[in-house]
Amino acid sequence: MKKLGGINIPSHSGWRLLGIITVVILLLPIWFVVSNSLSIETESWQQSVPRLLPLYLKNTSFLLAGICLISLLVGVSTAWFVTVYDFPFRKHFEWILILPLSIPTFINGIAYVGLTDYAGPIRIFLRSIGTDVYLDVMDHQGAIIIMSLVLYPYVYVASRAAFIMQSVSLIEVSRSLGQSMVKTFFKVSLPLSWPIIFSGLILVIMEVLNDYGVVQYFGIPTFTTGIFRAWLALGDLQTAILLSLVVLLFVLFLVVLDTFIQRGRKTSNENEDQIATRIPFQLKWVPFTICFLPVFFGFIVPVGQLIWWSILSSTSQVWLQSIEFMGNTSLLGLLSGLVVLFLAIVLSYSNRLTGNHWSSKTFSKLSMLGYAIPGAVIGIGIVTFIIWLNPNWIYSGIIALVFGYSARFFAVGYGQTDSGFQKIPSQLDDAASSLGKNSLTSLIKIHLPILKPVLIGGFIMVFVDIAKELPLTLILRPFNFETLATNAFQYAKDEMAPKSASSSLLIIFVSSIPVYFLNKIIK
Amino acid sequence: MLKVQHIKKSYSTTTAVDDVSLEINEGEMLSLTGESGCGKSTLLRIIGGLEKPDSGSVFWEDQNISNWKPEKRKFGFVFQNLSLFPHLTVEKNVFFAISKENRTNKKLNELLGMTGMQGYEKRYPHELSGGQQQRVALARALAIDPRLLLLDEPFSSLDELVKEKIRKEVFDLLKELNITTIMVSHQAFDSFLMADKLVVMKEGRVLQTGIPIDVYQNPSSQYVSNFFGASVIIKGTNDQQKAHTSFGDIAIPNLPDKFSLCIRPENIVINTKDDYDISGIVKEKLFKGPHDVLTIQSPKMDEEFNLETERCSHEIGDPIFLKVPKDKILVFQ
């Protein structure tokens, strides 16, 4: 180490080591999928690939294409109207449009199936007026619409942030040059916002890849159901790993693609002037309707159906059970949330102390990869890891689950923590060390108290993601251990959907909390 | 050509434009000026159709265009913040509103030639300097053959050094093309260079309209006078239709009972002790490049005042004798 006036600059090698260990732990599940896929015998390749891959590929890409298209249409158009135009209830729509995000895809699927089946309110009503129609939402198109209805908010939030950031004078210049608002949108606003909108779209794609509930319930074979079938039903770990690898490669491709698109991003270099006066829309109920429909079908209808069910099936036993599952969910959320925060603090602080070394930057990016990877893939990775440790161990358990959740949702907590750390001026660290405090003391006495609100926010977001998680939980949960999500899914699968309503409603209630944070972040 | 009548516009708590009427003729350059927040930008935005007035009308050749959308007006707009489209090259920015078949090389060369930007066709805005961006923004506005050009603080984001040069070039070009222009500027002297008409606004109202030199020499109020530079206030009382001051009476026709007198510092002459109106002491002396600035205290004046002079031999503490030409004294009600 260099000597500066006789003072040793601390190398913080201990912190650096801790940071590296953190990243290694988080990447273990992914590493086990990749490394094990190398050792798969060719026989297995030849058997499973030609048989399964085309079908999974076809279904998954069909779902992805449809959901991306609808999410883009709904998310971008609502964001455009809410940001640029003035119409009734505009201000409220800003956050109401995010609400459908609080409904996990599989719960929306359950609700819509219930809504349209024989005992559902639509057909009861039709029969009461002397007619009946057979409605079936349990096919590809149904899955596309049902998932789009709760996933479009990712695109909405991204688009809205992009439109807000855009300098309003660009729109005004375009109009003064004789371009209508429609032309301005396509020639100026959309091309400029596209990179940000695309990162929202990537989240949609990852949610679709992650989804197990809807496709399993609707009987659509995709990669995720394939992984499940291979492992849980057939005990064929090799095929499961193989399928996971395909998904992993696709996700990696998306991450690389996103990096390229973000690099091409053109920003205006002036101080951005945000939209102050919104343009009154002449037919003011048109934008109102465009914004209201997704909220109606993506939130009000499914929640209404769930409430109706929960009234129908309301017994003290159902609620007592739900409270027990709530306890299980909370236990997992609490443990994993704390683990994520602990690891996030270690990694952020280690990066802060050891400076902007390229290795630490790359490392922390890698640690966030888990968020992009479907829960089923992480689940298989952990199973493989545990079997590698000791083939006789039971791979499912609370510890395995907490590990899985932490690996998958680390990015959520880390993103919050790290941006919080970056807002603390480094002079504070220097001041502390000049007063003779060592790095651990200043972390506990200075950084953590300052970061408290950020840490709480990060914790809540991780907690909510865990409450909504299904596939990872299904693979790694201990025998007979039910969370709200697994309970809701199990009842629906067993044709007892009304009984799942109370658990579903509890998940939606908990998940609505971060909507508040999200809306604050984009402002 | 363009007529603005009784325009009013207020936001929740403040009145931005309060009953403003004005007119501009073909080929004229009108400059709207005033302190920030005086409503000049809002007025420009109303003319451009980007803002709707609460009441009042905008006429173009006797046609009421108050309800026209901005895209229909064909008024070119150049903004303060150099709002080039960051995702388009210079060429595509300039041709933004031009249909494919009219995008000829001749037209591009003409527009870039006028603005001195030839050779930059393929550059992106972030590769250009502020001055260059402003030239492209102007070329883009001129590309649509605007019926009226609206410039909103077009030079304020440029460096002092570049500003002078570009301002001159732009004004020369607009005169040459005979384009009717309305320009908003909060810097009084931006307006003087070439504007045919100057409109001074305060708190949403028009205080004075006229040829720039007239407004400067004969400001209608103390406020306008101060806006174009410091003025030295002289105490005086009405003494039988003469302004009675500490250095003699000044005959002023139609002198009202209550009035204030002032003189621009550049009109005060340093003289000898044999012939002077005011005597005082140099309190401070500041070296300011080509000239000196003296702060003078005089028993005949209420406040100390600054005098810009050529390099002078007066030092701090020296007595100084000043001559005040009576015909240069400004009278305000």
Buried b vs exposed e over A97-119: b needs ≥16 C-beta within 10 Å?
bbbbbbbbbbbbbbbbbbbbbee
Contact A211, A223 (CB under 8 A): no
Rounded-to-integer distance, Cα B293 and Cα B194, Å: 28
Residues of B in Cβ contact (< 8 Å) with A174:
85, 96-97
pLDDT computed for residue A274 by the predictor: 58
Q: Which two tokens stand for residue A349?
A: 């602080």
Rounded-to-integer distance, Cα A109 and Cα A488, Å: 11
- What mean pLDDT is predicted for residues A320-325? 87
Instruction: Determine how β-strand B63-64 pairs with β-strand B75-78.
Output: unpaired
Non-local (6+) Cβ contacts of B147 within 8 A are B1, B60, B73, B74, B75, B180
Rounded-to-integer distance, Cα B33 and Cα B208, Å: 10
Would an 8 Å CB–CB cutoff place B157 in contact with chain A?
yes
**Would you list the domain boundaries of chain A?**
8-39+313-523, 51-312
- What mean pLDDT is predicted for residues A358-371? 75
- Rg (chain B; Cα; Å): 24
pLDDT, tens digit, for every residue of B241-254?
A: 777 777 777 777 77
C-alpha to C-alpha distances, A357 to A11, A130, A329, A351, A354, nearest whole angstrom: 13, 73, 39, 8, 7
pLDDT computed for residue A271 by the predictor: 47
- Choice between A364 and A444, residue whose per-residue pLDDT is larger: A444
Query: How many inter-chain contacts (A to B, CB under 8 Å) are there?
Result: 85
Residues of B in Cβ contact (< 8 Å) with A180:
69, 71
Q: For an interface test with B, which of A166, A173, A279 has the most B Cβ atoms less than 10 Å from its Cβ?
A: A173
How many beta carbons lie within 10 A of that of residue B126, not counting itself? 12
Q: Which two tokens stand for residue A309?
A: 């069910």
- Choice between A63 and A460, residue whose per-residue pLDDT is larger: A63
In A56-85, the residues whose Cβ lies within 8 Å of chain B are: none
- Beta bridge partners, B181, equal B29, B149
Rounded-to-integer distance, Cα A323 and Cα A320, Å: 5
Q: For an interface test with A, which of B75, B96, B111, B133 has the most A Cβ atoms less than 10 Å from its Cβ?
A: B96
Termini Cα distance of chain B = 34
- What mean pLDDT is predicted for residues B95-123? 91
pLDDT computed for residue A45 by the predictor: 63
pLDDT computed for residue B232 by the predictor: 79
Would an 8 Å CB–CB cutoff place B71 in contact with chain A?
yes
The pLDDT > 90 percentage for chain B reads: 35
Residues of A in Cβ contact (< 8 Å) with B125:
268-269
Rounded-to-integer distance, Cα A93 and Cα A295, Å: 9
Contact A212, A228 (CB under 8 A): yes
Nearest chain B residue to A189 by CA distance is: B85
- What mean pLDDT is predicted for residues B182-194? 78
How many beta carbons lie within 10 A of that of residue A217, not counting itself? 18
The per-residue DSSP string of A244-304 comes to: HHHHHHHHHHHHHHHHHHHHT-----SPPPPP-SPEEPSSTHHHHHHHHHHHIIIIIHHHH
Lowest mean pLDDT among A219-228, A470-479, B293-302: B293-302
* pLDDT of A338 higher than 90: yes
- Are residues B79 and A266, on separate chains, in Cβ contact within 8 Å? no
- Choice between A433 and A338, residue whose per-residue pLDDT is larger: A338
**pTM for the whole structure:** 0.84
Helix, coil or strand: residue A152:
helix
> Which residue, A304, A300, A290, A302, is CA-closest to A156?
A290
Nearest chain B residue to A179 by CA distance is: B71
Say whether A51-312 and A8-39+313-523 share the same fold: yes
The pLDDT > 70 percentage for chain A reads: 91
Q: Supply the DSSP symbol for A278.
A: P
pLDDT, tens digit, for every residue of A66-95?
A: 999 999 999 999 999 999 999 999 989 998
Lowest mean pLDDT among A59-63, A209-213, B51-55, B159-163: B159-163
Termini Cα distance of chain A = 45
Contact B17, B53 (CB under 8 A): yes
- Are residues A269 and B126, on separate chains, in Cβ contact within 8 Å? yes
pLDDT, tens digit, for every residue of A121-158?
A: 888 889 989 888 888 888 999 999 999 999 999 999 98
Would an 8 Å CB–CB cutoff place A315 in contact with chain B?
no
Rounded-to-integer distance, Cα B72 and Cα B49, Å: 9
Instruction: Determine how β-strand B75-78 pairs with β-strand B205-210.
Output: unpaired
Lowest mean pLDDT among A23-27, A511-515, B59-63, B168-172: A511-515
For B69, phi then psi, to 5°, come to -70, 155
pLDDT computed for residue A3 by the predictor: 44
> Which residue, A193, A131, A137, is CA-closest to A160?
A193
CATH superfamily of A51-312: MetI-like (1.10.3720.10)
**Dihedral class, residue A212 (left if φ above 0, else alpha if ψ from -120 to 50, else beta):** alpha
Contact A442, A450 (CB under 8 A): no
pLDDT computed for residue A89 by the predictor: 92
- Are residues A178 and B141, on separate chains, in Cβ contact within 8 Å? no
B77 vs A172, A181, A270: nearest CB: A172
For A342, phi then psi, to 5°, come to -60, -50
Would an 8 Å CB–CB cutoff place A262 in contact with chain B?
no
The pLDDT > 70 percentage for chain B reads: 99
Rounded-to-integer distance, Cα B331 and Cα B308, Å: 22
Q: Which two tokens stand for residue A216?
A: 């399993």
pLDDT, tens digit, for every residue of B47-72?
A: 999 888 999 999 999 899 998 999 99
Q: Supply the DSSP symbol for A447.
A: I
Long-range contacts of A262-265 (CB under 8 A, 24+ apart): A262/A195, A262/A199, A264/A195, A265/A195, A265/A196
- Choice between B312 and A84, residue whose per-residue pLDDT is larger: A84
* pLDDT of A11 higher than 80: no
pLDDT computed for residue A1 by the predictor: 41
Q: Supply the DSSP symbol for B305.
A: E
For residue B31, with 0-12 CB atoms within 10 Å meaning exposed, 13-18 middle and 19 or more buried, which class applies?
A: buried
How many helices (H) and strands (E) would you count in chain A? 24, 4
Residues of A in Cβ contact (< 8 Å) with B42:
none
Non-local (6+) Cβ contacts of A238 within 8 A are A40, A41, A44, A48
> Which residue, A423, A453, A435, A450, is CA-closest to A352?
A423
pLDDT, tens digit, for every residue of B2-33?
A: 999 999 999 888 889 999 999 999 999 999 99
Rounded-to-integer distance, Cα A156 and Cα B141, Å: 33
For residue A95, with 0-12 CB atoms within 10 Å meaning exposed, 13-18 middle and 19 or more buried, which class applies?
A: middle
Q: Supply the DSSP symbol for A314.
A: -
pLDDT computed for residue A356 by the predictor: 61
Rounded-to-integer distance, Cα A476 and Cα A488, Å: 17
How many beta carbons lie within 10 A of that of residue A320, not counting itself? 11
Rounded-to-integer distance, Cα A33 and Cα A381, Å: 5
* pLDDT of A456 higher than 60: yes
pLDDT computed for residue A273 by the predictor: 59
Helix, coil or strand: residue A474:
helix
E strand or H helix at B29: strand B29-33
Q: Which two tokens stand for residue B133?
A: 């961006």
pLDDT, tens digit, for every residue of A270-304?
A: 445 555 668 877 788 999 999 999 999 999 999 99
Mean model confidence pLDDT for chain B: 87
Nearest chain A residue to B78 by CA distance is: A173
- Rg (chain A; Cα; Å): 25
Q: For an interface test with A, which of B73, B75, B79 has the most A Cβ atoms less than 10 Å from its Cβ?
A: B79
> Which residue, B250, B234, B246, B247, is CA-closest to B303?
B234
Rounded-to-integer distance, Cα B59 and Cα A453, Å: 56
B85 vs A170, A172, A271: nearest CB: A170
- Are residues A267 and B71, on separate chains, in Cβ contact within 8 Å? no
Q: Supply the DSSP symbol for A435.
A: T
pLDDT computed for residue A9 by the predictor: 58
Which amino acid does the sequence have at B22?
Answer: L
Buried b vs exposed e over B207-216: b needs ≥16 C-beta within 10 Å?
bbbbebeebb
Q: Which two tokens stand for residue A56?
A: 């999974």
- Beta bridge partners, B117, equal none
- Are residues B83 and A268, on separate chains, in Cβ contact within 8 Å? yes
Rounded-to-integer distance, Cα A374 and Cα A365, Å: 17
pLDDT computed for residue A276 by the predictor: 63
pLDDT computed for residue A272 by the predictor: 54
- What mean pLDDT is predicted for residues B179-189? 86
- What mean pLDDT is predicted for residues A370-391? 88
Which amino acid does the sequence have at B276?
Answer: Y
| Nearest chain A Cα distance for residue B98, angstroms | 9
- What mean pLDDT is predicted for residues B121-136? 90
Helix, coil or strand: residue A41:
coil
Kindly report the CATH number that applies to the domain delimited by A8-39+313-523.
1.10.3720.10
* pLDDT of B333 higher than 90: no
pLDDT computed for residue A48 by the predictor: 67
* pLDDT of A269 higher than 50: no
Residues of B in Cβ contact (< 8 Å) with A178:
71-72, 74, 97, 144
pLDDT computed for residue A521 by the predictor: 62
- Are residues A267 and B73, on separate chains, in Cβ contact within 8 Å? no
pLDDT computed for residue B189 by the predictor: 73
Mean model confidence pLDDT for chain A: 86
Q: Which two tokens stand for residue B255?
A: 């002198």
For B175, phi then psi, to 5°, come to -65, -45
Residues of B in Cβ contact (< 8 Å) with A279:
none
How many beta carbons lie within 10 A of that of residue A338, not counting itself? 15
Is the torsion defined by CA of A166, A169, A174, A179 positive or negative? Answer: positive
The per-residue DSSP string of B181-233 comes to: EEEEESSHHHHHTT-SEEEEEETTEEEEEE-HHHHHHS-SSHHHHHHTS--EE
